[in-house]
Chains A and B, each alone.
Chain A
Amino acid sequence: MMRWKKLAVIPMLLALLVAACARGAATPVAGLPAEAQAVIKERGLSPDDIVAALRTYIPGGKYDEYIMFSSGGHSGQVLVIGIPSMRLLKVIGVFTPEPWQGYGFGEKGTLEVLEGGFARGKPILWGDTHHPALSETEGEYDGQFLFINDKANARLAVIDLRDFETKQIVKNPNAISDHGGGFVTPNTEYVVEGPQYATPVGWEYAPLDQYKDKYRGLLTFWAFDRQKGRVDPDRSFQIELPPYWQDLCDAGKKVSYGWVFCNSINTEMATGGVEAGNPPFEAGTAKNEMDYLHIINWKKAEELIQAGKYEVMNGMKVLRLTTAAQEGVLFFAPEPKSPHGVDVAPGGEYIVVGGKLDPHVTIYSFEKIQKAIAAGNFERDPFGVPVLKFEDVKEAQVELGLGPLHTVFDDKGYAYTSLFLDSAVARWSLGGPYRKDGAEPWKLVEKLPVHYNIGHIAAAEGDTVSPDGKYVVALNKWSVDRFAPVGPLHPQNFQLIDISGGKMRLLYDMPIGIGEPHYAQIIKADKLKPFLVYPEIGWNAVKMAKDPNATEPGRERMEVREEGGRRVVEIWMTAVRSHFNPERVQIKKGDHVIWHITNIERARDATHGFALGGYNINLSLEPGETATIEFDADQSGTFPFYCTEFCSALHLEMMGYFLVEP
């Protein structure tokens, strides 16, 4: 018995020796201090592990090179993650109230932001956040704003990156749900919200047997006013599309500036009904070999809108389908087969469509599309939309593997496509102007397994006109066995991949335990210039301006007045370490209370909270911020209010009494 064991051990040792000699002195493990060697041994780390650790470790006090803004999935929030450390820096409350940030728990400004996203008055306090989009100038991220859509309720949110807070939510007045958004045009002229599941146009009811006549997709162009930092619904418009279930979209850039591309997955116009013996949607929508890439001239659409060729539906200008089809706004090109991602190459020359049910990515040439349109060589679909010939517009097809979904780009002429079914990332070479290194164009180079079921993929500045390369992040839907079990609902898995070398290298698994993120964008960290404290005392963080109710120290007061037969009590309070002023607020039951609180601190990180138990109120008052709460004192009693952000040694004493006489 012992002998056998020895016999097994000897070849193993020999193998190790050979391996060690093969690596030679170049291995970084040699020459490490004894303590490091001991740690490596104790933790059983491989040389690859050590390289990965060294590539991702950021010592305390040092900053990450990139910041990733990720959809928070069902949490309705946005995650801010450092790269390469994959540390979570912040969760930004967007569609869902967020108590730590005082977002939607009494503060008037934030409640108004959330109310902007109510559906015809109905409170909607979550979101299925999908695609974050950083604002761009000439196709480059400018670090000023972030947009994100809510698929479940067709909404778009605006986050100001001066303070990483949500400033506006707009509800699409004509769409129930959406998908292919948000993404921006190259100068953030518009934030585009693409549709998905077709519904009767104008928020109407129509039975499914009227699907072809009544049901439509709507591509929404939300005009963005950069000066105000707000979407301007009055300048926004929509383009009516056939009920083909448009999926993802991307904006043309550089040579294809002025165009938008969306794909579609249900040109079959399947209406489901598995319970009635019909093919279920999953089969019905996959019947055709080809669906349609939508090619949309938004500059032309903008001209038509300005020329008044629109109808107003629920307050929104809509360019009707017949106009779009006849006036050169909308064209189709066949695409195989129920595809998913559509991504425009950095220079705008190529449009890459991920086949999903087809193992290829199909690459379309913008130049060829323009030639085909000019030649007028097309048929029309049942809605009168010109359909270009596949062979006229196709540049190449590259077979990558099973389930190609989304594509991002690097700085060396390579594209990276997520393969859902293969659970892999494919690196493949672009052609044309991207191929100056003599490598074979349009060819699969390498596949890297990821864990598992990758959806979107994000690259460092990967969908700008000048990607940085360096890193790719795989947004995996399943983590299965990658983390310690935490119950049947498993975390998602973000995997950081180093793409700087000859081979892709997996560096880090980051569990996401808050929702299922869809897309993420990665910006160079030094492009972000956020406030460290608000610029002046009395700052209204929603309006991003000084608040008229800012309270100077020494001007704290309480006023009582009669208004419409009831008492209105208005309080102007300050907060500073470690007290509120006033500390006693005495009113009568039934009073209407308007309460302004200003944090008069100027020190970095000297945030105060304000919680009023029994009234569902919590505020976050960052240094300089003024917040306002307004409510009816409908229950009598003695309510302590206190600071909810541990601010100082006397933080517990930072409280007061709200006394409501019966």
Chain B
Amino acid sequence: MIERVNAWLQEDPFRLPRAFFIGASWLLLFSLLFPYWRMTLQAPQYPGGLRVDVYVTHLAGDVNEVDNLNHYIGMKKLHEAAQVERFLAPLAIGAAALLGEALAFTRRRWMAVMALPAMLFPLVFLADMYYWLYRYGHDLDPNAPLRLPPFTPPLIGTGVVGQFRTVAELQPGFWMALAASILIALGLHFRRVVRTAIERHQPVRVGPFVLTPEGARA
């Protein structure tokens, strides 16, 4: 097993970072199919709880019922939030994934910039999610039946609104995007390691793995 990997790397030492970049872009693309974030509302009269799953492209779960309840405190309907983001998300993810993938086929240093969109995507998602949570908790209809002081529903963790306990959690889609981000970082790192090793004509080993064989050339 180890020997086969070493033999594979000996043919072309850049295969390792390339594998990271390609894996990352596929992970990012597949994350489209999974929810990124979930809010569960628990209250005595909803024995199974109510659930809203946020995908980067759409919402799923008990959206109607949550909207229905939210109207009492004058909160806007959930599907009205982040419409632009949800429209652009597939394009953005596609582009970020493509750029990430492109890294695999270039060795130019400055091209590392192309990694940024994919690497930053999870952070952008969280920031945008927080922005909308803040807006929804602050932009409440003053004519609603119940008036609450402005609040921000939790991005991660639990909160309480009325008889509802809300639990916000990150979901597989987000973890996939985060993994993609980490894979790209690793890819960049190993690309540098490999490049340096070749320039200095020094073999690099990680445990039993020989990342660059002696005498390899860039």
Contacts and interface: CB of A to CB of B under 8 A. Distances in A.
Given A578-B145, A650-B145, A603 B65 contact: yes
A653 B72 CA distance: 12
Contacts of A576: 68
Nearest to A602: B64
Interface string B34-54: 000000000000100000000
A601 B68 contact: yes
A603 B68 contact: yes
Interface string A572-601: 000011100000000000000000000001
Nearest to B48: A604
Interface residues of B, number: 8
B5 to A, nearest CB: 53
A653 B145 CA distance: 10
Nearest to A603: B65
Nearest to A648: B72
A647 to B, nearest CB: 11
Contacts of A650: 72, 145
Nearest to B145: A650
A576 B72 CA distance: 11
Categorize the interface residue count of chain A. Answer: under 10
Contacts of A602: 64-65
Contacts of B72: 577-578, 649-650
B145 A577 contact: no
Contacts of B62: 603
Contacts of B64: 602
B59 to A, nearest CB: 14
Contacts of A601: 68
A578 B68 CA distance: 9
A235 B78 CA distance: 53
Nearest to B46: A603
A328 to B, nearest CB: 60
Contacts of A578: 72, 145
Nearest to B50: A603
A650 B146 CA distance: 10
A602 B62 CA distance: 9
A576 B68 CA distance: 8
Contacts of A649: 72
Nearest to A601: B68
A150 B193 CA distance: 89
A649 to B, nearest CB: 8
A602 B46 CA distance: 13
Contacts of A653: 145
A649 B64 CA distance: 19
Nearest to B47: A61
A650 B144 CA distance: 12
A8 B69 CA distance: 69
B48 to A, nearest CB: 10
Nearest to A61: B47
A358 to B, nearest CB: 55
A577 B68 CA distance: 7
Interface in B57-83: 62, 64-65, 68-69, 72
A578 B69 CA distance: 10
A603 B62 CA distance: 9
A59 to B, nearest CB: 15
A578 B72 CA distance: 9
A577 B62 CA distance: 16
Interface in A610-660: 649-650, 653
A584 to B, nearest CB: 17
A13 to B, nearest CB: 50
A650 B69 CA distance: 12
A252 B68 CA distance: 54
A398 B72 CA distance: 70
A650 B72 CA distance: 9
A601 B68 CA distance: 8
Among the interface residues B46, B62, B68, which one has the most CB atoms of the partner chain A within 10 A? Answer: B68
Looking at B62, B65, B69, the one whose CB has the most chain A CB atoms below 10 A away is B65
B72 to A, nearest CB: 7
Interface in B96-151: 145
A649 B68 CA distance: 13
B32 to A, nearest CB: 26
| Residue picked from A576, A577, A603, A653, most chain B C-beta under 10 Å | A603
A614 B148 CA distance: 39
A374 B37 CA distance: 77
A649 B71 CA distance: 13
Contacts of B68: 576-577, 601, 603
A235 B69 CA distance: 50
A653 B64 CA distance: 21
A656 to B, nearest CB: 16
B49 to A, nearest CB: 12
A556 to B, nearest CB: 15
A577 B64 CA distance: 12
Nearest to A653: B145
A518 to B, nearest CB: 37
A601 B64 CA distance: 8
A14 B69 CA distance: 67
B183 to A, nearest CB: 40
Interface in A481-510: none
Contacts of A603: 46, 62, 65, 68
B3 to A, nearest CB: 58
Nearest to A537: B64
Nearest to A649: B72
Contacts of B46: 603
Contacts of B145: 578, 650, 653
A344 B62 CA distance: 50
Contacts of B69: 577
Nearest to B163: A649
A621 to B, nearest CB: 15
B180 to A, nearest CB: 36
A601 B66 CA distance: 11
Interface string B18-44: 000000000000000000000000000
A565 B69 CA distance: 45
B45 to A, nearest CB: 8
B201 to A, nearest CB: 68
Contacts of B65: 602-603
A176 B30 CA distance: 70
A101 to B, nearest CB: 22
Given A578-B72, A601-B68, A650-B72, 14 more contacts: A576-B68, A577-B68, A577-B69, A577-B72, A578-B145, A602-B64, A602-B65, A603-B46, A603-B62, A603-B65, A603-B68, A649-B72, A650-B145, A653-B145
17 contacts: A576-B68, A577-B68, A577-B69, A577-B72, A578-B72, A578-B145, A601-B68, A602-B64, A602-B65, A603-B46, A603-B62, A603-B65, A603-B68, A649-B72, A650-B72, A650-B145, A653-B145
Interface of B: 46, 62, 64-65, 68-69, 72, 145
**7 shortest interchain CB distances as A-B pairs:** A603-B65, A602-B64, A650-B145, A577-B68, A602-B65, A576-B68, A601-B68
Interface of A: 576-578, 601-603, 649-650, 653
